[in-house]
Amino acid sequence: MENTQLATPETAKELGLLPEEFSRIKEILGRTPNFTELSIFSVMWSEHCSYKNSITWLKTLPKDGPRMLAKAGEENAGMVDLGDGIACVFKIESHNHPSALEPYQGAATGVGGINRDIFTMGARPIAQLNSLRFGDLSLDRTKWLVKGVVKGIGDYGNAFGIPTVGGELFFDECYNVNPLVNAMSAGIVKVGETVSATSYGVGNPVYIVGSATGKDGIHGAAFASKDITADSVNDLPAVQVGDPFQEKLLLEATLEVIQTGAVVGMQDMGAAGIICSNSEMSAKGEHGMRIDLDKVPMRQENMKPYEILLSESQERMLIVVEKGREEEVQAVFDKWDLNCVEIGQVTDTKRLEYYMNGELVADVPADDLVLGGGAPVYKREYREPAYYKEYQKFSIESVQEPEDLKAVAQHLLSHPNIASKRWVTQQYDSMVGTATMTTNRPCDAAVVSLKGTEKAIVLTVDCNSRYVNADPEKGCMIAVAEAARNITCAGGEPVAITNCLNFGNPYVPEVYWQFVGAIKGMGAACTKFETPVTGGNVSFYNQSTDDGPVFPTPTIGMLGVLDNVDDMMTADFKAEGDFIYLVGESVNDIASSQYLASFHKVAASPAPHFDLETEYATHQVIKQLIKERLIASAHDVADGGLFVTLFESANPNNLGFDIESDDSIRKDAFLFGEAQGRIVVSVKPENQEAFVELMATSETEFNYLGTVTNGSMLVDREQFGNIQDFKPVYDDVLHSILEE
Amino acid sequence: MPLNFNSFVAMKFGVVIFPGSNCDEDVIYVLQEIMQQEVVRLWHKDHDLQGADFIILPGGFSFGDYLRSGAIARFSPIMQEVIQFAAKGGYVMGICNGFQILAEAGLVPGALLHNETRKFICRNVHLKVETTNSLITSALDPSKALKIPVAHGEGNYFADEDTLKKLNDNDQILFRYCDEGGNVKSESNLNGSVQNIAGVCNESRTVFGMMPHPERAADSLLANQDGLGIFESILKVAHA
């Protein structure tokens, strides 16, 4: 295809554009676009870049707050004020589609991309997390995906040198075809030393720095904007290849070049490559650019203009430099042995003009390409799926309580969704940076100290997609609440979230209904917890022709702050004889629990019990207990229910528990139900009186469960076994499945 | 026990920074902030050790380590100076990637192969102190296993029979992987290292290499200070 040949409606269709979108492009240009221009529009107007099917709803989310320095949509990532002149920049992003085809590179480049979003703003990444979802672990393909994704994340993150401090891992057959790979990064920057993704100042030079540009990842953004089919294998060139060593150099060089003060604006090259950074920076700065594509350092010969523009080669940045200060910038990149090439200049035309060997090959207005400018915005229709009402009809009475609850405990502790994730986590360097306070202290959230201050940031990623599937609105509220609960149990104050919205095909009304419900739930919960949504990413089309959509999975990445590291709280029981209490209400509920789903194999049930107001009040009580030093541990009741929570608190120090159940509810619901808003705390005998006094004055329900033992696990005086007996199973389940 | 800084021998440390080093700032933090020592950063392209008394090659992935860990770094300009410095009896310590570079440069015996599991391993391990007859172990208690993290993909120490015999005969083995109680067992050998070896020194006891990261176990904030004794040993701390 010649660069300047006029495009046809057929070509537009092939590039994924709707007929009305093609007409709109002709209107914007006042003529028929050539192939290069059409390619530009097709990627910039793809779902991945334009958020065309989600932005209407995303705009309803709360985004303001006293700590917000960069709100959703303003920069590459959200920025939150931590006090003392320090800010945290954080974001989560998906790399689902590439990981489904090439798990190793797909996951690795996901890590690379999210970190570039952080350091392109001038922040140094200090912690990474990830949220992974795969299909049935007994399938060979799932094992291949798990191994590849984990190795990809590890190899990239470890060499890049930023610790991976937390994450989640969940298996369900709905992810058999479409695994979800969501990567999060958080960085720290001094307030006032950040850089914006903007471009202005006529005549200022435009530089491309970092790796050379190749044909990898062309149309990656468009690839991420369609369902996965048997033909997806033909999209393999749409998967990029990562080089963590280049990324490390780029990080150091980028932070160093910012210190020169010569940088006007900067943006990393991720989805849709050069064209995306050119257009977004130009639109933001209300200027244009004239770019000579032949000056771009290339990995291979004979690259076409559209290939150069759309390439998603990794580890590259676009930098607009103040004219006259080119040498300072060049010196930094020379020091780090990185490419640094002037490819064009800023103009006042507000247009992007691309030349190849002196010939104009594309001329498009910057603003019309981008979200918030001329990119299309759609309101999609949505419809409640039939299953929703069916699920609501579930009653606990329809499930017979098993006689042998020990068998249930064994089933849960050896289930891959519950068991230790160390097979995964030990492949990640979780300690580099020597700030991970949770290495030697088990905790509901990751706590990373900010050296030179008394503060720490507290991070978690959470989403139980089974709940969201059962009830998108309530399920997504729970995801936010669980994240806040984890941060609170670590001693932190929740301050903001980033989200990764993984859904099926938005053109399916039932899928879009899930999306709308989740956004409503997220908005309500984030308003209640005063945690504004700072941005994130939407990943639609996690859907296959045969298996339908994945569970709606709005992953919540939450940032908390711990003003004084001495207030950190841990999840492990400390000593035999300490008292164990349950803060929050026991409910006769097993809906959507791991127990119901995998032991009884019942899928049709609503989301578990949850009340936003009660949940919020409970968190405030926990904060008070921590501040007044009245509890020795705090661990929330989540997947697997109370028994699993007790096990997880007892396990680290080889302790056990001796508890009484509540005879007003079924024992299986008491032990394995997943009613929300509950936290297990342990209390030293000398603090019991003060603890009870504080709790009694609060509105929050609490119950005495029992005491910490030296290893045996007893419920109503019935022996459930010794912690030592369960440990090998719990620790090695993933290893035995994946290394068989 | 509080550190008695008056009893330290003040030293000037030089920490080499290769492209891809990523534990450089961690070790500098321990030396500067916790041990209160002077540290200079030595850039890989330079030829000047800036008068440092003790050189540290930190952990990381020098030059990406795509070929073989440490294989390229050993040829960098600064390494030519480090090799000469070591030849004259200067103190050099390599941690993790630094150990791999020292082995590649022939400054310590043996080689670091891929972990037997073929996987990167990051976790706490226990180390048995095999000798106190070295600068970096002089203040350690051999009866106590040290809990210190590892984080490596290529930490499987290998040396041929003759070299092993020499290492043992000359008391050059500094640390072995052991269990919590200090027992050197095959179960505590996480990466396949021959004879559970985790750290060695050269024959003249001036160049030290170890895979575990003592700088990751030196700050009270991390709730594990088992690694601090190694830095105290270097500075010949007298416990008050």
pLDDT over 70 (residue A187): yes
Q: What is the pLDDT of residue A404?
A: 96
Query: CA angle, corner A317, sides to A312 and A320, nearest 5?
Result: 130
What is the rounded distance in angstroms from the CA atom of residue A590 to the CA atom of residue A669?
Answer: 5
Please report, rounded to a whole number, the percentage of residues in chain B having pLDDT higher than 70.
95
* β-strand partners of A290: A345, A353
The answer to whether residues A163 and A431 touch, using CB atoms and an 8 Å cutoff, is: yes
Question: Which chain B residue's Cα is nearest to A245?
Answer: B64
Query: Is A331 at the interface with chain B, CB within 8 A?
Result: no
Query: Is B118 at the interface with chain A, CB within 8 A?
Result: no
For the question of residue B201 being annotated catalytic, the response is no
Dump pLDDT digits (tens) for A405-456. 999 999 999 999 999 999 999 999 999 999 999 999 999 999 999 999 999 9
Q: What is the pLDDT of residue B212?
A: 98
pLDDT over 90 (residue A73): no
Dump pLDDT digits (tens) for A564-602. 999 999 999 999 999 999 999 999 999 999 999 999 999
Query: Is A427 at the interface with chain B, CB within 8 A?
Result: yes
**pLDDT band for position B10 (cuts 50, 70, 90):** confident
CA of B237 vs chain A CAs: smallest distance (Å) = 23
Full 3-state SS string of A273-308: HHHHHHHHHHHHHCCEEEEEHHHCCECCCCCCHHHH
CA of A315 vs chain B CAs: smallest distance (Å) = 14
Question: Which chain B residue's Cα is nearest to A154?
Answer: B120
Between residues 140 and 159 of chain B, which touch chain A (CB distance below 8 Å)? 149, 151, 153
CA of A343 vs chain B CAs: smallest distance (Å) = 26
Q: Is A562 exposed, middle or buried (0-12, 13-18, 19+ CB in 10 A)?
A: buried
CATH value at residue A25: 3.90.650.10
Domain final residue pick, A377, A412, A431: A377
Q: What is the arithmetic mean of pLDDT over A123-132?
A: 98
Answer whether residue A154 is part of any domain.
no
- The H-assigned helical ranges of A130-197 are 140-160
SS3 content of chain B, % helix, strand, coil (to 5): 30, 25, 45
User: Nearest Cβ partner of B222 from A159, A243, A437?
Assistant: A437
Average per-residue pLDDT in chain A?
Answer: 95
Chain B residues with beta carbon closer than 8 angstroms to that of A246 = 64
Answer whether residue A125 is part of any domain.
no
User: Nearest Cβ partner of A434 from B119, B122, B219?
Assistant: B219
Domain final residue pick, A351, A377, A403: A377
pLDDT over 90 (residue A711): yes
User: Nearest Cβ partner of B216 from A151, A243, A434?
Assistant: A434
Q: What is the pLDDT of residue B1?
A: 43
Mutate to test the interface with A, among B31, B43, B45, B61 (most CBs of A within 10 A): B61
Query: Is A421 at the interface with chain B, CB within 8 A?
Result: no
Question: Which chain A residue's Cα is nearest to B22?
Answer: A161
Query: CA angle, corner A86, sides to A80 and A87, nearest 5?
Result: 20
Q: What is the pLDDT of residue B209?
A: 98
CA of B90 vs chain A CAs: smallest distance (Å) = 28
pLDDT over 50 (residue A1): no
**pLDDT band for position B78 (cuts 50, 70, 90):** very high
Identify the residue whose tokens are 């968190």: A619
Both tokens of residue B112? 């670091």
Judge: B59–A451 Cβ closer than 8 Å, yes or no: no
CB contacts < 8 A, A to B, total 93
**pLDDT band for position A2 (cuts 50, 70, 90):** low
Question: Which chain B residue's Cα is nearest to A426?
Answer: B122
Q: What is the arithmetic mean of pLDDT over A710-718?
A: 97
Best CA proximity match to B210, nearest among B143, B138, B137, B160: B137
What is the rounded distance in angstroms from the CA atom of residue A660 to the CA atom of residue A704?
Answer: 8
Answer whether residue A71 is part of any domain.
no
Question: Which chain B residue's Cα is nearest to A247?
Answer: B20
Dump pLDDT digits (tens) for A333-388. 999 999 999 999 999 999 999 999 999 999 999 999 998 888 999 999 999 999 99
CA of B151 vs chain A CAs: smallest distance (Å) = 6
Best CA proximity match to A218, nearest among A357, A46, A362: A46
Chain B residues with beta carbon closer than 8 angstroms to that of A428 = 120, 122
Query: Is B87 at the interface with chain A, CB within 8 A?
Result: no
As a dihedral over the C-alpha atoms of residue A438, residue A443, residue A444, residue A447, rounded to 10 degrees, the angle is -30
- Total domains present in chain A: 2
Strands A86-94 and A78-83: antiparallel
Chain A residues with beta carbon closer than 8 angstroms to that of B120 = 154-155, 158, 427-429
Ordered structural domains, chain B, with CATH: 5-235 (3.40.50.880)
Answer whether residue A132 is part of any domain.
no
Global pTM reads 0.96
User: Nearest Cβ partner of B22 from A161, A428, A451?
Assistant: A161
Judge: A432–B26 Cβ closer than 8 Å, yes or no: yes
Answer whether residue A484 is part of any domain.
no
Strands A351-356 and A288-292: parallel
Please report, rounded to a whole number, the percentage of residues in chain B having pLDDT higher than 90.
92
Judge: A433–B26 Cβ closer than 8 Å, yes or no: yes
Q: What is the pLDDT of residue A67?
A: 93
User: Nearest Cβ partner of A434 from B29, B119, B123?
Assistant: B29
Answer whether residue A596 is part of any domain.
yes
Query: Is B20 at the interface with chain A, CB within 8 A?
Result: yes
Query: Is A652 at the interface with chain B, CB within 8 A?
Result: no
Q: What is the pLDDT of residue A460?
A: 98
Residues of A with catalytic annotation? 48, 95
Judge: A440–B224 Cβ closer than 8 Å, yes or no: yes
What is the rounded distance in angstroms from the CA atom of residue B237 to the CA atom of residue B137?
Answer: 11
User: Nearest Cβ partner of A432 from B121, B123, B151?
Assistant: B151
> Which residue range is the domain that position A239 belongs to?
1-63+195-377
pLDDT over 80 (residue A229): no
Residue A650 belongs to what H/E stretch?
helix A641-650
Q: What is the arithmetic mean of pLDDT over B17-28?
A: 97
User: Nearest Cβ partner of B222 from A243, A422, A440?
Assistant: A440
* β-strand partners of A357: none
User: Nearest Cβ partner of B122 from A245, A246, A429?
Assistant: A429
Whole-Å CA distances, A278 to A268, A269, A454, A567: 10, 9, 40, 45
A731: left (phi over 0), alpha (psi -120 to 50) or beta: alpha
Both tokens of residue A287? 């200027």
Out of B23, B126, B213, B232, pick the active-site residue: B213
Domain final residue pick, A323, A342, A377: A377
Answer whether residue A726 is part of any domain.
yes
CA of B207 vs chain A CAs: smallest distance (Å) = 24
Out of B96, B104, B130, B201, pick the active-site residue: B96
Q: Tell me the HSE value of B205 on the side-chain side, using a 13 A CA sphere.
A: 14
For the question of residue B152 being annotated catalytic, the response is no
Q: What is the pLDDT of residue A216?
A: 77
* Backbone phi, psi, residue A51, to 5°: 55, 35
Chain B residues with beta carbon closer than 8 angstroms to that of A565 = 221
The answer to whether residues A228 and A102 touch, using CB atoms and an 8 Å cutoff, is: no
Please report, rounded to a whole number, the percentage of residues in chain A having pLDDT higher than 90.
89
What is the rounded distance in angstroms from the CA atom of residue A232 to the CA atom of residue A238?
Answer: 10
ipTM score here?
0.95
Dump pLDDT digits (tens) for A143-186. 999 999 999 999 999 999 999 999 999 999 999 999 999 999 99
Answer whether residue A697 is part of any domain.
yes
Dump pLDDT digits (tens) for A637-654. 999 999 999 999 999 999
Judge: B222–A451 Cβ closer than 8 Å, yes or no: no
Full 3-state SS string of A551-610: CCEEEEEEEEEECCHHHCCCCCCCCCCCEEEEECCCCCCCCCCHHHHHHCCCCCCCCCCC
Q: Is B113 exposed, middle or buried (0-12, 13-18, 19+ CB in 10 A)?
A: middle
Best CA proximity match to A706, nearest among A716, A694, A691: A716
Both tokens of residue A371? 């979200």
Judge: B122–A427 Cβ closer than 8 Å, yes or no: yes
Full 3-state SS string of B147-195: EEEEEECCCEEECCHHHHHHHHHCCCEEEEEECCCCCCCHHHCCCCCHH
Judge: A158–B216 Cβ closer than 8 Å, yes or no: no
Mutate to test the interface with B, among A126, A426, A427 (most CBs of B within 10 A): A426
Q: What is the arithmetic mean of pLDDT over B206-232?
A: 97
Chain B residues with beta carbon closer than 8 angstroms to that of A430 = 122
* β-strand partners of A344: A206, A291
Best CA proximity match to A76, nearest among A294, A318, A301, A297: A318
**pLDDT band for position B8 (cuts 50, 70, 90):** low
Chain A residues with beta carbon closer than 8 angstroms to that of B59 = 432
Strands B12-17 and B38-43: parallel
User: Nearest Cβ partner of A154 from B19, B29, B120?
Assistant: B120
Q: What is the pLDDT of residue B2?
A: 46
